[in-house]
Amino acid sequence: MRFDRCKTLFGNERFEKLQNSSILILGAGGVGSYALDCLYRSGVKNITIIDHDVYDETNQNRQIGSDTIGILKTDRLKQLYPEIITINQWMNTIWVKEFNFEPYDIIIDACDSTKVKLEIAKKHFKKLIMAVGSAKRYDASKIKVDSIWRTQGDAFANKIRRELKKAKFNRNFTVVFSDEEAGCKDKGSCVAVTGGFGLAVCSEAIKKIVDLPKKGKTP
C-alpha cells in the first residue's frame, strides 16, 4: 500500500498525527516545492501552499513543476499533488496581518521577502520553520538546523536577526540555513542545496508533528 513504509517507520499513532496535521507552505520555489513533495509522500493530507509566481526557464534547474513554463506554480503543483490546497496570492505584511494562520499546526516559511519573514516570525514563531539563504551554494553537507539566534555564516539570517533585535523580539524559532560561504554574488543556485533545504524543512516539520498531542487532547 502507498504509505506502508511510512507506517512501519512512525507507527500507527504517529502516522495518524502526520495524516491529520495541517501544514502551510509559504513559497513554492526551490525550497518550498521539495518540502511539499516530502510532506506529501510522507502522508500529510492537509497541505496548503501559497505562491503568486509563474514558472520561467530559469526555475528549471531547481523547482519541481518547472517543466511547464508560463504556468502558475500553484496550478501546476495542484496537478502534480491533487490533494493539496493552493492559494495564488502575493504575500506582503498586510496579507500576513489579515490571513488566518490559526488552523495550521506548522508554518513553513520558504518565501524570499524579508518583511514577510519578520512579520510571520513575530506573530507565529511557535509554529514556524523558516528557510534562509539556500541560494549561491552547492555543498549540501553545510546545511544546518538551529535556533534563529544560533545561525551563522549566512547574510540573510544575519539580517533577520538584526531586524528582530531592533523590534525587541527575543523568542525562539527553528531555522534551516547553510554556513557555506556564498559561491557567487548573483542569483546562482544548485538543487542539491535548495532541494536539501526543502527536505530538511520537511524533516523538522515531521519531528514537530509526531510529538504534538492529539487534537482535542491536552498534553
pLDDT of the residue at 218: 40
Whether 194 is in a domain gets the answer yes
**pLDDT tens across 131-147, in order?**
999 999 999 999 999 99
**pLDDT tens across 37-91, in order?**
999 999 999 999 999 999 999 999 999 999 999 999 999 999 999 999 999 999 9
Looking at the structure of the chain, the number of domains it has is 1
Whether 17 is in a domain gets the answer yes
Cα angle, residue 84 at apex, residues 35 and 160 outer, rounded to 5° = 40
Whether 92 is in a domain gets the answer yes
3-class DSSP state of 57: helix
Whether 33 is in a domain gets the answer yes
Beta-sheet pairing, 174-178 with 143-147? antiparallel
pLDDT of the residue at 69: 96
Whether 13 is in a domain gets the answer yes
DSSP for residue 214: P
Domain that holds residue 140: 4-210
Spatial strand order in the sheet of 46-51: 85-88, 46-51, 22-26, 106-109, 128-131, 174-178, 143-147
> Residue 50's domain is classified under what CATH number?
3.40.50.720
**pLDDT tens across 145-184, in order?**
999 999 999 999 999 999 999 999 999 999 999 999 999 9
Whether 216 is in a domain gets the answer no
